[in-house]
Chains A and B, each alone.
Chain A
């Protein structure tokens, strides 16, 4: 609340100018976000899922997740194996923990790739216009017209042979994780590129950009320091929803057997393993499926809330 005007006892004294309420843009955004019950719920569930996947590693080792014991294959949920076991006796609870880590990492890094490419292309097209815009947009539209899933499948098949395991932080991953991240990122950027381009087209006409040009500010500074920070809102929303999208896509592709390979687990390829046991061993698909649904839904709700909270047109607090 702003302070009311204090009239001085001296008639001739200058009274301090009233200033606008000291709510920063961040405060305003947070206030609007708080009103979205579902978004808060989404955020909470997301945090819980992340804690589950990454915190769970403190309780269950990866070795255990990969520990095969054919004597205990296809066991339904029990005290020893709360989520049951799979076809080669591995504990599914542990696999969902580690699988979750990979799914989430894929989601985040694929979204990151998507955002980087999308911003670059969208910014250049939107700012320079003319031929640059025409070429970049035709390319973007071409990408948009290719069905992403098909593209994913084709690229996955193309890279399917010869995938080695890689070593990061002392853990071994199938190289297919990296391949999938790039494939998803490099096929998802067109949506964001169009949004960024639209933002740039409109923001570059605003007067403070003209003012920056009048100051003599170099072009790249105008693009990255002036325009980009003002178009953060749709980028953040798109990036958030992009994580959910990437996780879903990974699940699709892995389910088709073309995604992440053994021994690395993801929620998606756990579904693939459950394919033949849909009725007989429901626990094999129920739990990873549930996790996928939960994380995608919670991210979507979060994204909705962010979208409304960050909307500059929303004048209400």
Chain B
């Protein structure tokens, strides 16, 4: 069995809350990500889903070392992200890239498309002459479906979908192995979402990329991902192969989440039995004890309040963190 490209072990990220003016004290922490472990195989697309406050975006950023981890390990292609320094860290940055959610905020408004897309080339000293860099930028723009003539334009001259493509071109410039896609289509119109998703798939086939696809749109995740992980309040509650998760969800939260997704089929919508959760997602500053889902869980028992459920592989390739799921 080949070594997975990405291995995450017990990753935890807490953001300390400080109070005080002259001398700051740490009074608490936002427990954004708590002890998650998973792997991603080469060429695979792992989806990470969950609602606001579940920690999926924080997980993606911490995984790449953009936020320092509070504890835990991430190994990308053999490199330990949190221990890498200097040139090794630069290697990590080359091999692992990110595509961002907001096409309007993720590009420097004062830079031309050329500067934006060629930045990885310059920073990693991949191409040293101006002329060759420009050529490569044009190639990348064409690769993502943009017109190479626009190389000297500014971001505000493009539409949202086009800007997202610029972001993709930038991420691909350093020829990465692994790309974290942080909600890359949420800010786009439905008809443009399909364009961008098709592009991401085409590029994955062409370039042999591995993706972590962070999203909240469960329909899109089912379409594009091979395996899916479900996050709730900083904890990973279920991880399974795609169709297995959608057809046989085991965790009560996953079941509620899937039943809440509207389906564009009026007859089905009328006939469906919905699991409606009560209340709101609690704050990650003071998460509930034991299983973090227990206050809203329709089938919770005493044990759920007292004990944190173990992350277990209950079926081949199907992990769950729930006391009520038998092996």
Q: Are B123 and A218 in contact (CB under 8 A)?
A: yes
> Chain B's nearest CB lies how many Å from the CB of A205?
10
Q: Are A211 and B98 in contact (CB under 8 A)?
A: yes
Indicate which residue in A20, A24, A211, A216 contacts B100 across the interface (CB closer than 8 Å): A211
Q: Are A207 and B120 in contact (CB under 8 A)?
A: no
Q: Are A19 and B157 in contact (CB under 8 A)?
A: yes
Give Cα distance in the complex from A217 to B120, angstroms: 8
Q: Are A24 and B123 in contact (CB under 8 A)?
A: no
With A210-B106, A211-B100, A216-B94 known, 19 other A-B pairs at CB within 8 A are A19-B150, A24-B154, A208-B108, A210-B66, A210-B100, A212-B119, A213-B66, A214-B97, A214-B98, A215-B97, A215-B119, A215-B170, A216-B90, A216-B93, A216-B120, A217-B119, A221-B123, A226-B108, A230-B110
Q: Are B102 and A207 in contact (CB under 8 A)?
A: yes
Give Cα distance in the complex from A216 to B108, angstroms: 15
C-beta contact mask, B286-310 vs A, less than 8 Å → 1, else 0? 0000000000000000000000000
The answer to whether the Cβ of A170 comes within 8 Å of any Cβ in the partner chain is no
Q: Find chain B residues with CB under 8 A from A214 CB.
A: 64, 66, 93, 97-98
The answer to whether the Cβ of B78 comes within 8 Å of any Cβ in the partner chain is no
A1-28, CB < 8 A from B: 17, 19-20, 22, 24-25
Q: Find chain A residues with CB under 8 A from B219 CB.
A: none
Q: Are A25 and B119 in contact (CB under 8 A)?
A: no
Q: Are A210 and B61 in contact (CB under 8 A)?
A: yes
Q: Find chain B residues with CB under 8 A from A211 CB.
A: 98, 100, 106-107, 167, 170
The answer to whether the Cβ of A63 comes within 8 Å of any Cβ in the partner chain is no
Q: Are A206 and B105 in contact (CB under 8 A)?
A: yes
The answer to whether the Cβ of B162 comes within 8 Å of any Cβ in the partner chain is yes
Q: Are B109 and A230 in contact (CB under 8 A)?
A: yes
C-beta contact mask, B62-105 vs A, less than 8 Å → 1, else 0? 00101000000000000000000000011001100110111001
Q: Find chain A residues with CB under 8 A from B109 CB.
A: 25, 208, 230
Give Cα distance in the complex from A17 to B167, angstroms: 18
Mark B residues whose CB is within 8 Å of A.
Answer: 61, 64, 66, 89-90, 93-94, 97-98, 100-102, 105-111, 119-120, 123-124, 147, 150, 154, 156-159, 162, 167, 170, 174
CB nearest neighbor in B for A20 = B157
Mark A residues whose CB is within 8 Å of B.
Answer: 17, 19-20, 22, 24-25, 206-208, 210-218, 221, 226, 229-230
Q: Find chain A residues with CB under 8 A from B97 CB.
A: 214-215
> Chain A's nearest CB lies how many Å from the CB of B210?
16
Q: Which of B110, B154, B156, B158 has the most CB of A within 10 A?
A: B110
Interchain residue pairs with CB less than 8 A apart (16) = A17-B162, A20-B157, A25-B154, A207-B100, A207-B105, A208-B106, A208-B107, A210-B61, A211-B100, A211-B107, A214-B66, A214-B97, A216-B90, A216-B94, A216-B124, A229-B108
Q: Are A20 and B158 in contact (CB under 8 A)?
A: yes
Q: Find chain A residues with CB under 8 A from B105 CB.
A: 206-208
Give Cα distance in the complex from A55 to B64, angstroms: 60
> Chain B's nearest CB lies how many Å from the CB of A218?
7
Q: Find chain A residues with CB under 8 A from B98 CB.
A: 211, 214
> Chain B's nearest CB lies how many Å from the CB of A20?
5
Q: Find chain A residues with CB under 8 A from B174 CB.
A: 215
Question: Which secondary structure dominates where chain A touches chain B?
Answer: helix
> Chain B's nearest CB lies how many Å from the CB of A246?
28
> Chain A's nearest CB lies how many Å from the CB of B183?
11
Q: Find chain B residues with CB under 8 A from A215 CB.
A: 93, 97, 119-120, 123, 170, 174
CB nearest neighbor in B for A226 = B108
CB nearest neighbor in A for B104 = A207
Q: Which of B93, B102, B106, B150 has the most CB of A within 10 A?
A: B106
Q: Are B154 and A216 in contact (CB under 8 A)?
A: no
Give Cα distance in the complex from A292 to B291, angstroms: 73
CB nearest neighbor in B for A214 = B98
Q: Are B158 and A19 in contact (CB under 8 A)?
A: yes
Give Cα distance in the complex from A102 to B54, angstroms: 63
CB nearest neighbor in B for A16 = B147
Q: Find chain A residues with CB under 8 A from B106 CB.
A: 207-208, 210-211
Q: Find chain A residues with CB under 8 A from B167 CB.
A: 211
> Chain B's nearest CB lies how many Å from the CB of A123?
16
Indicate which residue in A17, A25, A207, A221 contacts B156 across the interface (CB closer than 8 Å): A25
Q: Find chain B residues with CB under 8 A from A207 CB.
A: 100-102, 105-106
CB nearest neighbor in A for B119 = A215
Q: Find chain A residues with CB under 8 A from B66 CB.
A: 210, 213-214
> Chain B's nearest CB lies how many Å from the CB of A225?
8
> Chain A's nearest CB lies how many Å from the CB of B140?
14
CB nearest neighbor in B for A229 = B110
> Chain A's nearest CB lies how many Å from the CB of B280?
26
> Chain A's nearest CB lies how many Å from the CB of B149?
11
> Chain A's nearest CB lies how many Å from the CB of B74?
14
Give Cα distance in the complex from A226 to B110, angstroms: 8
> Chain A's nearest CB lies how many Å from the CB of B3?
24
Give Cα distance in the complex from A241 to B91, angstroms: 46
Q: Are A20 and B159 in contact (CB under 8 A)?
A: yes
Q: Find chain B residues with CB under 8 A from A24 CB.
A: 154
Q: Find chain A residues with CB under 8 A from B93 CB.
A: 214-216
Q: Find chain A residues with CB under 8 A from B89 CB.
A: 216
Give Cα distance in the complex from A25 to B61, angstroms: 32
Give Cα distance in the complex from A206 to B119, angstroms: 17
Q: Find chain A residues with CB under 8 A from B90 CB.
A: 216
> Chain A's nearest CB lies how many Å from the CB of B83?
16
> Chain A's nearest CB lies how many Å from the CB of B159?
7
CB nearest neighbor in B for A208 = B108
Q: Find chain B residues with CB under 8 A from A229 CB.
A: 108, 110-111
> Chain A's nearest CB lies how many Å from the CB of B152?
10
Q: Find chain A residues with CB under 8 A from B150 CB.
A: 19
Give Cα distance in the complex from A215 to B158, angstroms: 22
Q: Find chain B residues with CB under 8 A from A216 CB.
A: 89-90, 93-94, 120, 123-124
Q: Find chain A residues with CB under 8 A from B61 CB.
A: 210
